[in-house]
Amino acid sequence: MVHGGTMCPGNLKWSTTGIRIIDNGYGSDPDQLQFLEGLFIEHGTQILYVADVSNNRVQR
């Protein structure tokens, strides 16, 4: 499925209750993000990866 020019897995399931994955604001600690550049969802496992370019890392 394509949404906004981005490929999304056809079997993607969103939680109706949501899960908070980042909870401590802006920064470079493991529970913080600074500048998001992109998201990737692994097709088989539906694991979300977030590109945090200001911290030079990808968070899982």
Q: What is the pLDDT of residues 30-52, one digit of tens each?
A: 888 888 888 888 878 888 888 99
**Structural domain span for residue 48:** 2-19+26-59
The letter for the amino acid at 14 is W
Q: What's the DSSP call for residue 55?
A: G
Q: What's the DSSP call for residue 52?
A: E
pTM for the predicted model, two decimal places: 0.62
Q: Domain tally for the chain?
A: 1
Question: Using 50, 70 and 90 to split pLDDT, how confident is the model at 9?
Answer: low
The secondary structure of 23-60 as a DSSP string is -S-BSSSTT-BS-EEEEEE-TTT--EEEEEGGGTEEE-
Q: What's the DSSP call for residue 33?
A: B
